[in-house]
Amino acid sequence: MANYDVIVIGAGPGGYVCAIRCAQLGLKTAVVEGRDSLGGTCLNVGCIPSKALLHASHQLHEAEHNFAKMGLKGKSPSVDWKQMQAYKDEVIDGNTKGIEFLFKKNKIDWLKGWGSIPAAGQVKVGDELHEAKNIIIASGSEPSSLPGVEVDEKVVVTSTGALSLGKIPKKMVVIGAGVIGLELGSVYQRLGAEVTVIEFLDVITPGMDPEVQKTFQRILKKQGLKFVMGAAVQKTEATKTKAKVTYKLRKDDSEHVIDADAVLVATGRKPFSDGLGLEALGVEMTPRGQIKVGHDWQTNVPGIYAIGDVTEGPMLAHKAEDEGMAAAEQVAGKHGHVNYGVIPGVIYTWPEVANVGETEETLKEQGRAYKIGKFMFMGNGRAKANFAADGFVKILADKDTDRILGAHIIGPAAGDLIHEVCVAMEFGASAEDLALTCHAHPTYSEAVREAALACGAGPIHS
């Protein structure tokens, strides 16, 4: 039996970051992970592999649509799916091995296997029992199931199966126009599949700024994605190579059937805490199966903490990472903190979509007076040169104090641009502070400055 200051359960972005910070703070730390490689869903079957496929398929899209315009002539590249998969696997391998290196560097033990908590202060992995003063649960999430839809991870797949389909489908149905559905739907559409997205609501990416939703859907349609909106999927029937998807339109209850070679179920994820033994321990849960934690990420059982997707809040790797660092600080007797008001969200399609802070809807609900500064990428020289002028930056600021309350970006590098607004918000900046900051020319970030200018004196290039 080994004794630890901290045992972290789960080596996803929440868990591994937490473990590294614990070790840096001088705590003897181990991580329990049952997968063959570290990094959790994000590195193995989520964020990282999907970004590899998004990158590769975007390059193809550029070759097919923009190369000739720039005087780059010749046949467009053809897709070698096996090689693209090998590239993706190499990216995964490089990243997961990187975490192994960081564990060794920080003297963190990897306890291989699936862990359970027989009692506070104890973690069981296989037949071995380990003792720890603190246990931090970072067990993540798994895809939610949909009644009538049986996932086989070959024809009817979750995001996991969708990353390694046997071949590029001719026809693909995506259930759910959320982040996963649109990212992976984009990948296969660019690789040549006819992709139909079936969405229950009348809008895509629920919760996002309505102007962004509209622009985003228009751009995706222009790229070739088809949408069936306001439709509830009833069932799928699959053979070894094909599937039928039955859905009902909410407006008239009419039933429709659509054929596909692959069906991606992307209707959300749910917290994963199976086998940990939380019920026997009396750990308090929310009705949605999330572990309840206090401001210090401690559960109602002293010494047991939880972070990331298995707790409340957005299921985002970077939210989990921040909680991981903060929980480590707490366990080490310091003061960890996460500002939940400034957590960016990004969709890595082309163009990218990013947001942070309040939306107009949430501000209206709060009865707060706000102003809008908006700038179209059409007025940004760099975006025009790069065939990336579709989209805009929208900044919301307090009407009286000018303090930045939120930002919504659809356009090139939106996922990077959003961070200057995040930093500004962390410092309590006004839109004028951003507008008075010199931005290099020609950069996409000038569009952020122009949107900030639009909150006050007005933009220059529109």
Angle subtended at Cα 336 by Cα 331 and Cα 338, rounded to the nearest 5 degrees: 135
Size of the site for ligand NAI (CB under 6 A): 26
Nearer to ligand NAI, 224 or 314 (CB): 314
CB burial string 160-188: b at 16+ within 10 A, e below: bbbbebeebbebbbbbbbbbbbbbbbbbb
Closest CA to 264 of 289, 283, 296, 238: 238
What mask, x for binding ligand NAI by CB under 6 A, covers residues 318 to 347? ----------------------------xx
Give the C-alpha separation, 173 to 259, whole Å.
Answer: 8
For ligand NAI, the closer of residues 143 and 406 by Cβ is: 143
Residue number of the CB closest to ligand NAI reads 178
**Interface stretch with ligand NAI, choices 59-67, 75-83, 86-94, 169-177 (CB under 6 A):** 169-177
Site map (CB under 6 A) of ligand NAI, residues 29-68, x = contact: ----------------------------------------
β-bridge mates for residue 271, sequence order: 141
Residue 408: helix, strand or coil by DSSP? strand
Among 11, 52, 137, 198, binds ligand NAI (CB under 6 A): 198
- Residues shown for the chain: 462
Pick from 315, 328, 447, 452 the residue near ligand NAI by CB under 6 A: 315
Determine the Cα–Cα distance for residues 42 and 159; give it in Å rounded to an integer: 11
| Calpha distance 81→39 (Å, rounded) | 25
The distance of closest approach from Cβ of residue 228 to ligand NAI in the complex, given in angstroms and rounded to an integer, is: 9
| Residue 232 near ligand NAI by CB under 6 A | yes
The span from the CA of 98 to the CA of 152, in Å, is: 31
- Taking residues 146 to 165 in sequence order and writing x for each that binds ligand NAI by CB under 6 A, - otherwise, the string is x-------------------
Residue 120 or 201: the one with the smaller Cβ distance to ligand NAI is: 201
CB 263 within 8 A of CB 173: yes
Closest CB 414 distance from ligand NAI, rounded Å? 11
Least distance between ligand NAI and beta carbon 7 (Å): 26
Binder among 13, 176, 411, 459 for ligand NAI (CB under 6 A): 176
Residue 257 buriedness (CB in 10 A; 0-12 / 13-18 / 19+): exposed
Sequence-distant contacts of 75-84: CB under 8 A, at least 24 apart: 79/168, 79/191, 79/192, 81/167, 81/168, 81/191, 84/53, 84/56
Span interacting with ligand NAI, options 132-140, 197-205, 437-445, 452-460, rule CB under 6 A? 197-205
Segment interacting with ligand NAI (CB under 6 A) among 90-98, 174-182, 214-222, 271-279: 174-182
Q: Which stretch binds ligand NAI (CB under 6 A): 64-72, 82-90, 91-99, 171-179?
A: 171-179
- Residues serving a catalytic function are 441
Quick one: which of 53, 163, 179, 325 contacts ligand NAI (CB under 6 A)?
A: 179
By CB under 6 A, residue 200 contacts ligand NAI: yes
Selected from 25, 102, 201, 281, the binder of ligand NAI by CB under 6 A is: 201
Name the minimum Å distance from CB 146 to ligand NAI.
Answer: 5
DSSP structure string for 47-90: HHHHHHHHHHHHHHHHHHHTTGGGT--SPPPPP-HHHHHHHHHH
Q: Are 417 and 423 in contact (CB under 8 A)?
A: no
Dihedral angle computed from the Cα positions of residues 149, 202, 340 and 44, in that order, rounded to the nearest 10 degrees: 40
Q: Does 356 bind ligand NAI (CB under 6 A)?
A: no
Footprint (CB under 6 A) of ligand NAI, residues 104-143? none
Radius of gyration of the chain measured on its C-alpha atoms: 23
| Interface residue with ligand NAI, options 178, 324, 391, 459 (CB under 6 A) | 178
**One residue of 30, 125, 266, 291 binding ligand NAI per CB under 6 A:** 266
Query: Structure tokens of 239?
Result: 């053979």
CA–CA dist 409, 415 (Å, integer): 8
- Measured from the CB atom, the residue of 158 and 430 that comes closer to ligand NAI is 158
Q: Which chain residues interact with ligand NAI by CB under 6 A?
A: 146, 175-181, 183, 198-201, 206, 232-233, 266-269, 314-316, 346-348
